[in-house]
Amino acid sequence: MVRAITFDAFGTVIDEGQDVLIGIAREICQAHRPSLRPDALLATWDRYLYSGADSEPFWTLSELTQESLGKAFRDHRIEADPRPYVESLESLWRQATAFPEVPRVLEALDGIPRAIVSDADHAFLEGILKSNRLRFDAVITSESVRAYKPRPQVFQAALKVLRASPAEVVHVGDSLNEDVAGASRVGMRTVWVNRADVHLTAADPKPDAAVRDLAGLPDTIEGVLDQASTAPENPKERQPRPSAYRVK
């Protein structure tokens, strides 16, 4: 029996827009380095983004974003203040909307406790959920826990708030490393949201089920639990391979 469901936020429930980041990178290049390809700048920015994620003291996602863009500027010899661009990015993300199927899926799952588990700053995410009129019983963020996925503290915090054991909770997310691997490590079942129709390789973390979007989630969750009740756990099969981090 499912006691609770946890959801990743961006890319799973909230559509942050695929072109937002590249649009900011394009704006920077046009203003400061027209010869630099926006995708090259974005790749450098992404590489630095979580290099400080495990640092002490804890850095919020907003702080990490600004610091990483500053490092990317230095690498590409861009003499500019990264703060206005980070503020512009965050302003655009605040306008993000839920994927079309989300309201009816949450309605279909009404009555099952649910939480958001996200690598986001708390007030920032709360504002987006409120503007989209999305209700969750708990919102667990990297800022509130002082740790980023796939570290276990994030998922353990959700389990504590939901008062459920890992085996009773299904985590739903679009990242193989942050969501599937992270939740699996603490014993939760996982559903991978594969909106980009990515093909799994033998080395990828293995979800218990996969969906193209959230529309079929209610039926899929029941199937995951049926599978869990008939198949014994094999810890060796649930050891994931680390992969690239991304904003979640």
What tens digit of pLDDT does each residue of 61-84 get?
999 999 999 999 999 999 999 999
Share of the chain above pLDDT 90, in %: 81
Instruction: Please name the residue that has the structure tokens 């060796």.
Output: 236
Cβ(220)–Cβ(151) below 8 Å: no
In this predicted structure, what is the pLDDT of residue 228?
A: 56
Q: Reply yes or no on whether the pLDDT at 235 is more than 70.
A: no
Amino acid making up residue 78: I
pTM confidence score = 0.87
Ramachandran area for residue 107 (φ above 0: left; ψ -120 to 50: alpha; else beta): alpha
Q: Reply yes or no on whether the pLDDT at 243 is more than 60.
A: no
* Number of neighbouring beta carbons within 10 Å of residue 97: 13
Which pLDDT tens digit goes with each residue over 15-39? 998 799 999 999 999 999 999 999 9
Q: For residues 77 and 90, what is the distance between their CA atoms, to the nearest angstrom?
A: 24
State mean pLDDT over 222-229.
Answer: 67
Which pLDDT tens digit goes with each residue over 85-138? 999 999 999 999 999 999 999 999 999 999 999 999 999 999 999 999 999 999
- The pLDDT confidence band at residue 246, using thresholds 50, 70 and 90, is very low
Which pLDDT tens digit goes with each residue over 186-219? 999 999 999 999 999 999 999 999 999 999 999 8
Q: Tell me, what DSSP letter sits at residue 212?
A: S
In this predicted structure, what is the pLDDT of residue 227?
A: 66
- The pLDDT confidence band at residue 225, using thresholds 50, 70 and 90, is low
Burial of 77 (0-12, 13-18, 19+ CB in 10 A): exposed
Cβ(208)–Cβ(228) below 8 Å: yes
Q: Reply yes or no on whether the pLDDT at 238 is more than 50.
A: no
Which pLDDT tens digit goes with each residue over 133-176? 999 999 999 999 999 999 999 999 999 999 999 999 999 999 99
Return the C-alpha torsion angle 160, 166, 169, 174, nearest 10.
100
* Number of neighbouring beta carbons within 10 Å of residue 178: 27
Three-state DSSP class for residue 10? strand
